[in-house]
Amino acid sequence: MTNRNIIAIIPVKGDDFNKHGNIMLGKKPLAAYTIDAARESEYIKRVIVTTDDERVAEFVRGLGAEAPFIRPPELGMKGVSLESVLKHCIEWLENVDGYKVDIVVLLEITHPFRSQGIIDKVIDVLIEDDLDSVFVASEEKHDFWMYDENGKLVRVGSKEYLPRQSKTPLYREMGGVVCVTKAEFIREGKRLGQKIGLIPVRDLSAFIDTHDEMGIYIAKKLVEES
């Protein structure tokens, strides 16, 4: 494992951070939870924050992350793809910093809670099973519906109601918690490779998303009561 250059990339957009990113959860700012989780990994060699805002860069450096560049303006615009942000990051590291990347661990600060060791567990599965990408997911055995191309409401998966124990589970990707991909696919502008694995998580705190006020409220209550 030590001969692989494994890095964490944490994308942080300035506008989003200024709204919610520097809120306090207990005695720590929101961003510190994700940065600390990455720094505690036995495998991650560098923790990189990619941002379009110098104020964010200074802030996360104070938390122990690297912010070695400021994204170009076009990668800070609304609607820019995550794939292009990740690609730019490793291209900068390889072409400017001279640091070849082997594996990328994507983490997002809006998911502050991760179970102990989950990052390294995902990395282990990627390497041991020779996969291209692995992410954590929530297993669902509920009934899901969607609108098809004709606007008709259709059931996802099974066409009839089944007992819970008989249902084939669906998996909701929780890539913001942990998503690990070989760098060769990131260079191609892809977030996931061809051979994909997942790890189901049952820790409800991992599902907390602080993109909105309700998520922030729940996160604060969880920290207060822990």
Q: Which residues contact 2 (CB under 8 A, 6 or more apart)?
A: none
Q: Report strand pairing: 196-200 vs 144-147.
A: unpaired
Q: Residue 2 above 70 pLDDT?
A: no
Any domain includes 150 = no
Count other C-beta atoms under 10 Å from residue 64's C-beta.
12
Question: What backbone torsions phi and psi does residue 131 show, to the nearest 5 degrees?
Answer: -100, 165
Count other C-beta atoms under 10 Å from residue 15's C-beta.
12
Any domain includes 162 = no
Q: Are 47 and 11 in contact (CB under 8 A)?
A: no
CATH number of the domain to which 30 belongs: 3.90.550.10
At 115, list the tokens.
């179970």
Any domain includes 15 = yes
Any domain includes 176 = yes
**What is the tens place of the pLDDT at every residue in 74-117?**
998 888 999 999 999 999 999 999 999 999 999 999 999 999 99
Domains identified in the chain, total number: 1
**What is the tens place of the pLDDT at every residue in 189-214?**
999 999 999 999 988 898 899 888 89
Any domain includes 216 = yes
CA-CA distance, 208 to 216, in Å (whole number)?
Answer: 8
Residue 205: give the domain boundaries: 6-137+172-225
CA-CA distance, 53 to 154, in Å (whole number)?
Answer: 43
- Band the pLDDT of 59: cuts 50, 70, 90: very high
- Band the pLDDT of 223: cuts 50, 70, 90: very high
Any domain includes 106 = yes
Q: Are 30 and 68 in contact (CB under 8 A)?
A: no
Any domain includes 109 = yes
Nearest Cα to 180, choosing from 110, 139, 129?
A: 129
Count other C-beta atoms under 10 Å from residue 184's C-beta.
13
Q: Are 54 and 70 in contact (CB under 8 A)?
A: yes
- Band the pLDDT of 35: cuts 50, 70, 90: very high
- E strand intervals along the chain: 6-12, 24-25, 28-29, 46-51, 103-106, 133-140, 144-147, 153-156, 170-173, 179-182, 196-200
Any domain includes 37 = yes
pLDDT at 196: 98
pLDDT at 88: 98
